[in-house]
Amino acid sequence: MTATVTPQVRPNRRRRRAAGSTSATQRTIYPSWFYLPAAVLYLVFFAVPTFASFYFSLTRWTLFDTEFIGLENYVQFFSEPQLSRGFVNTLVYGFVTSGAKVVLGLALAVLLTSQLVGRGYLRSVVFFPVLVSTIGVGITFKALLDPFDGVVNTMLAAFGIDGPGWFTDPAQALLTIAAVDVWKGLGIATLIYIAGIVAIPQEYYEAARVDGASRWQQFRSITLPLVQPATATVIILSLIGGLRSFDLIWATTGGGPGFTSDVIGSVIYKQYQAGFYGLSTAGNVILFLVVTAVMVPISILLNRKEVDR
């Protein structure tokens, strides 16, 4: 029913706004109803659930009834003893993986844009881990890094090195997962950097060489500043990914041992699993706000730099 009503209402509103003549609407070349399917999909699958989740985070609900309890879920969520640890871990994980992807991604991209034998092949090899399912990667690494029967520690033992308990040592677990995450996600960062480097006109390098600039000076003064947009993209993508990471952590340690590698995402998941739906909805709203609070300033900062250039 709504489908038949909305088309009549929407175009009118559209037209009125068009009459108000903002430059943006004047430039549009499509009729308003053209946007309708996308708008409906957006409303049904994104806008409505988002606002519904704001409401449900204020209730204690089961699948069949809800009880409005105000902000109690938020109070409860913040008093969760495992949360402070999860919060710190989330930030550590987000910034460590993001930083490593920027540095390693750029280094690999410089390597893979140079005159190299088998360059195309190497490029695809770097990208392959991205194509593998995260859960599969997690389970594989869990087997490889098993402290007692795993391939890695068995090999280390052959050289007389006592390998650490990668996923089972509380001090080590989170960093091990971060390392696996970097291995898996590095391909995307490298790809973005390759595109950024290839887009830099060769004339700059030729001019620099004429002036006698060394390789390092060329990198410092030409490549690095001119891949700034690529760096911004890599940072934003990997930081968002890192802050809301969950799947790899769940597949490898489940947040353990104990709570030592818990992040906000896994804390929320465990609450949902236990049937505390209201509480975990509140947790998701908070995660949304945290990611926004971290990302908006970073994104503004990076974009401003780009414009300044």
Partner 1 sequence: MSHVMRERSIRRRAAVAAAAVPLLVLAGCSSTGAADGTTEITFLTSNDAPNPETAEALAEAFEAEHPDVSVTVEIRPGGTEGDNLVKTRLSTGEMADVFYYNSGSLLQALNPDSSLVDLSDQDWVGSLTEEFVPVVSTDNGTYGAPLGASFAGGVVYNRAVYEELGLTVPETWDEFMANNEKIAAEGDGVAPVIQTYGETWTSQLFVLGDFANVLAIDPEWAEQYTAHQRSYAEEPALLGFQHQQEVAEAGYFNEDFPSATFADGARMVAEGEGAHYPMLSSVVQTIVQNTPEAVDDIGFFALPAAEAGNTRATIWQPNALYVPRSTEGAELEAAKEFVAFVNSDAGCEIQNEMLPPAGPYAGTCELPEDAPPLLADIQAYFDEGRTANALEFLSPVKGPNLEKVTVEVGSGIRSAEDAAAFYDQDVENQAKQLGLEGW
- Is residue 218 within 8 Å of 203, Cβ to Cβ? no
Closest approach, Cβ 174 to partner 1, in A, equals 13
In angstroms, what CA-CA distances link 38 with 14, 47, 115? 15, 12, 45
User: Backbone dihedral region of 70: left (phi > 0), alpha (psi from -120 to 50 degrees) or beta?
Assistant: left
Closest alpha carbon to 205 in 221, 187, 194, 193: 221
Enumerate binding residues for partner 1 (CB under 8 A): 60, 62-64, 67, 76, 79-82, 146-148, 165, 167-170, 254-260, 270-271, 273-276, 278-279
> Which strand (E) or helix (H) includes residue 61?
strand 59-61
Closest approach, Cβ 164 to partner 1, in A, equals 11
Distance CA 102, CA 97 (A): 9
H helices of 159-276, where?
173-198, 202-210, 215-218, 224-226, 228-243, 247-252, 264-273
Closest approach, Cβ 125 to partner 1, in A, equals 30
Residue reference for tokens 């034998």: 117
- Is residue 176 within 8 Å of 145, Cβ to Cβ? yes
Closest approach, Cβ 220 to partner 1, in A, equals 45
Closest approach, Cβ 142 to partner 1, in A, equals 9
Please say which residue, 150 or 196, places its beta carbon nearer to partner 1. 150
Please say which residue, 165 or 187, places its beta carbon nearer to partner 1. 165
Please say which residue, 140 or 299, places its beta carbon nearer to partner 1. 140
Distance CA 102, CA 242 (A): 13
- With b for 16 or more beta-carbon neighbours within 10 A and e for fewer, the 109-124 pattern comes to bbebbeeeeeeeeebe
Please say which residue, 135 or 296, places its beta carbon nearer to partner 1. 135
Please say which residue, 34 or 148, places its beta carbon nearer to partner 1. 148
- Is residue 30 within 8 Å of 13, Cβ to Cβ? no
Please say which residue, 67 or 308, places its beta carbon nearer to partner 1. 67
Closest approach, Cβ 60 to partner 1, in A, equals 6
Residue reference for tokens 């997690």: 138
Closest approach, Cβ 181 to partner 1, in A, equals 20
Please say which residue, 6 or 76, places its beta carbon nearer to partner 1. 76
